[in-house]
Structure 1
């Protein structure tokens, strides 16, 4: 039994197809199939039922796959121990970031990070919170950046910063003359929201004390763009709420429509999340240090009221 054989078993279990598993493992299909067969022969059990399409895992195979995950993770931990002992920070690192954070945060820290840690091959993927959680659990992401708390039993959360909500209120809106706004001023039927599935949408609904199943009676917006919300707001279709960092690049005309909350402003907690097995923790810590140092200068708010996404 070898670590490589266990890795091939995990690939087949995930993709339920030998050809695709081989492709993802960067080996030929005959090589992968032969190694899985050798392991089954050694154990004298069938891990996979090849008669079904897609391939299914036998009952004993499920137990073997679960244990294989532990063994492969522990083997990777040995490499981490050696890297940490040598002070080496390098290699591939896959980082997922949710869509409402990616456009503003990534340009702020990426250049600094890659210049400082030249031996790290940072692979960045934009994914929803649900995808981040699943992919971290499955080992397809080394870490993620998301709004927290998530309260997942296998995920470690390390807060990076607290980002206040800011109102975008056009001149013809009922709150246009207000110097400051409060959560009590908001009417969910009057607030333009991102499409369902975005945790920032959930946070806004939570802030307005509205049910997550809320739907507008006049039209339903299926957009993941804050720019679209701003443009619709300018057309008199309502107000919207923006994350603070999204307001920094607005032109001066649009900035005139920004309304800030009375202190403490509602805010979202943005955290670096990763599996509690803490693999590649030296790279995770390096990312956290770079982001924290940069964002600390961009967000000066000290006292905030954290608004959690619904059902998290």
Structure 2
């Protein structure tokens, strides 16, 4: 375990090296990436159902209207040039069932746990969401039951109990990997029930559920070698045509950061990024509202400037 780190954190995006958001790999000049193992966000340390978020005025988190468009960060994950995950509200139309399908009519719409029971099929993965909490992922195995990583143990629960009152969505379409057969997904999940503590191969519920559905070692702790160039990119949408990109050496590390963004919320993420990006933008004398590629590209070397006249 010599190449693993127990716990590393960062306070803001000033401490996270970045890359070109266009996704174009450039060989000229040095290039800095990032590969952190962030604090564990397993349910054992996630805010529980009865916790009170400080910015909610003392009200229960679930008493607030939940709109994914307001609270969730649009983002994409790339492995080299291949998009392997995407959360985007583009094209989502309002639903016909009003509040029950809050957040748009596409695959990111959320529903009450009771309504989800009518939509789930064995082998589906479900993402429960709530403002100021980490998303909680579960695998639906049939008969109203799910298997999920909860408090450092893989357990079998009723879907309504696992939700802890949060709204949820079927998350099959977020990752673009080819899924295993429903029977295999269910078997993967049930075979892990009772696994806990040091025997666990996952740091959070999302990695566990995704591993059950896709069977890829990338979702496991230490499933990839952390050497060489960072092959994973997390592209965060800042606006309609603006984005910011971070690089990671492993999918597991990237998922930990993506989940942190979900937990702190869209407003806080945009504030972190704006405080980091705005000074560089102003220094270039550009309009803060203009479309800009991040980070700004370095000037051409002198010999190239001369050759270009």
Instruction: Find the structure with the greater CA-based Rg.
Output: 1
Q: Which has the higher helix share?
A: 1
TM-score computed with the length of structure 2 as normaliser: 0.20
TM-score computed with the length of structure 1 as normaliser: 0.20
